Amino acid sequence: MSSVPNLAPALPEIFLAIIGMALLMVGVFQKKTDNDGEVRNARMISHLGVVAFVLTGLLVFTVSGPSLSTFSGMFISDPFAVYFKVLVLIASAMALIIAQDFLEQHKIAKFEFTVLLIFATLGMLMMVSANNLLSLYIGLEMQSLALYVLASFHRDDMRSTEAGLKYFVLGAVASGMLLYGASLVYGYAGTTDFVLLAQLFEHSPETGSSLGLIVGIVFILAGLSFKVSAVPFHMWTPDVYEGAPTPVTAFFAVGPKLAAIALFIRVMVGPFGDLVGHWQQIVVLISVASMLLGAFAAINQTNIKRLMAYSSIGNVGYALIGLAVGTEAGVRGILIYMAIYLFMTTGAFACILLMRRGGRMVENISDLAGLSKTHPLVAAALAVFMFSMAGIPPLAGFFGKFYVFMAAIEGGLYALAIIGVLTSVVGAYYYIRIIKVAYFDEPGDPLDADVGRNIALVIGATSLAILLFFVYPGVVVDSAAAAAASLF
């Protein structure tokens, strides 16, 4: 009989799980005699949730340091995991902050939102720390299941429920693929543990010639690609982004992406790192396809949420460049890229959340016309986000792309870097079009003037982060370098 496992490395997750359940209890047993009471209750839980994320973040710092694994090697806490956990927690906290107003306006303010968000975040933290194909799958499912529910949280809205359903069904297909791949790998190697797998391939890299193993990896890749919405597993993204409630979309665009990318990196360079020659070509294909589709498909979009969906597809393509290189520099590039992506995207969605007219959300790009007149500060922030996404220096987005492309060039993947630059040009077209609409188009009916304090806070923080990144990039770059180093 084995003794009690070491719980210390998993402290943040345990804490968050307990908090999640505790808030569920609080929410359920809170007296809510009328509708107002329910809203008050939801708001309180939401605030507590933000606090919980902050506390979890602090706990994450207590476990930062050398790599520790526990639970029979299923769970690992290393600088890489810590890096992503911090990003995920920031993303979740910001999503929660900007969500509350929206939920109240749409009369769907329920405390379960916070609870589900916490559990989704828990799933992400587990994904980031997964060190076994099984724990990978469990984390993934926990995250996904919570997200399916969140996608259709606006249950009286046809689009929202449709989004949830689509996400659910396709997610199930993806999970199936992932599991199929995992079983193929298990069938070949006889283990699902990342460390043992890595050892196996390290000793005999020629074993990679086993077709079954590679196909298994491809299936795992497919399952992960679905979660990061890389082409050709992206089809759900625009529909779900459009249909889901906007704060949920904001969260979708950031949190799960972060976690799934982390998982992607860990699986590819961890157990299968020595087989890079076998999967590199596949990742290159996915990356190129994502960049191209992200750039071209976004051009015709009129709905800004759909546009952001394609934008996120393209961004994943850029991030995957770093993975395709398969080197430490490449991974560092992704880590920096994702950190910047987190702030850009959250900020952009916070701006989108302000697109209300007469109390109703509007989502067309053309509705932004005249924003510079009615909300000059918001328009400026939006311009910052869009210019950053387009990769205009000295904004942060430029550096994100820069590190990734540099890694590709150093790794000899010139074609990938060139395609990346070219698609950035195409991408710049639709990003800058948004700025053009906001600044130069004939204004229609003005958007609602009131900007919630929460949203203003998030917009301010993110736009400052993007603007001033170049002043002190060391924070991100150094920790990303350390995180990347822990994988190799």
- Residues 425-444 close enough to bind other proteins by CB under 8 A: 426, 429
Q: Cα angle vertex 144, ends 220, 291, to 5°?
A: 60
Single out the segment in contact with other proteins by CB under 8 A; choices: 218-226, 346-354, 390-398, 399-407.
Answer: 218-226
Single out the segment in contact with other proteins by CB under 8 A; choices: 85-93, 220-228, 245-253, 473-481.
Answer: 220-228
- Binding residues for other proteins restricted to 176-205, rule: CB under 8 A: 177, 184, 186-191, 196, 199-200, 203-204
Minimum CB–partner distance for residue 74 and other proteins (Å): 5
Helix (H) or strand (E) holding 173: helix 158-189
Helix spans in 270-413 (H): 276-297, 304-325, 328-353, 371-374, 376-390, 396-410
Q: How many residues bind other proteins (CB under 8 A)?
A: 92
In this complex, which beta carbon is closest to other proteins, that of residue 241 or of residue 399?
241
- Please give the Cα distance from 171 to 88 (Å, whole number): 20
Among 12, 49, 79, 208, binds other proteins (CB under 8 A): 208
Among 37, 65, 232, 412, binds other proteins (CB under 8 A): 232
Q: Are 88 and 223 in contact (CB under 8 A)?
A: no
The 65-104 contact track toward other proteins, x by CB under 8 A, reads: ------xx-xx-----------------------------
- Cα dihedral 68→71→73→77 (10° resolution): -30
- Please give the Cα distance from 189 to 84 (Å, whole number): 29
Residue 58 in the binding site for other proteins (CB under 8 A): no
Single out the segment in contact with other proteins by CB under 8 A; choices: 85-93, 97-105, 217-225, 244-252.
Answer: 217-225
Minimum CB–partner distance for residue 470 and other proteins (Å): 30
Among 65, 277, 376, 393, binds other proteins (CB under 8 A): 277
Residue 211 in the binding site for other proteins (CB under 8 A): yes
* Other Cβ atoms closer than 10 A to 37: 12
Among 22, 68, 134, 456, binds other proteins (CB under 8 A): 134
Residue 119 in the binding site for other proteins (CB under 8 A): yes
Among 53, 80, 83, 153, binds other proteins (CB under 8 A): 153
Sign for the CA dihedral angle at 354, 358, 360, 364 comes to negative
Half-sphere exposure of 231 (CA within 13 A, CB side): 23
Q: Give the number of residues written for the chain.
A: 488
* Other Cβ atoms closer than 10 A to 453: 10
In this complex, which beta carbon is closest to other proteins, that of residue 296 or of residue 402?
296
Among 89, 126, 323, 362, binds other proteins (CB under 8 A): 126
In this complex, which beta carbon is closest to other proteins, that of residue 28 or of residue 377?
28
Q: Are 63 and 125 in contact (CB under 8 A)?
A: no
In this complex, which beta carbon is closest to other proteins, that of residue 110 or of residue 332?
110
- Binding residues for other proteins restricted to 310-369, rule: CB under 8 A: none
- Binding residues for other proteins restricted to 279-298, rule: CB under 8 A: 279-282, 285-286, 293, 296-298
Minimum CB–partner distance for residue 324 and other proteins (Å): 12
Q: In the beta sheet, which residues pair with residue 303?
A: 364
Single out the segment in contact with other proteins by CB under 8 A; choices: 245-253, 273-281, 338-346, 474-482.
Answer: 273-281
Q: Cα angle vertex 195, ends 201, 275, to 5°?
A: 30
Q: Are 169 and 146 in contact (CB under 8 A)?
A: no
Residue 405 in the binding site for other proteins (CB under 8 A): no
Residue 221 in the binding site for other proteins (CB under 8 A): yes
Give Cβ neighbours of residue 120 (< 8 Å, ≥ 6 apart).
92, 142, 143, 146, 147, 150, 251, 255, 256
- Please give the Cα distance from 161 to 154 (Å, whole number): 7
Single out the segment in contact with other proteins by CB under 8 A; choices: 111-119, 316-324, 450-458, 475-483.
Answer: 111-119
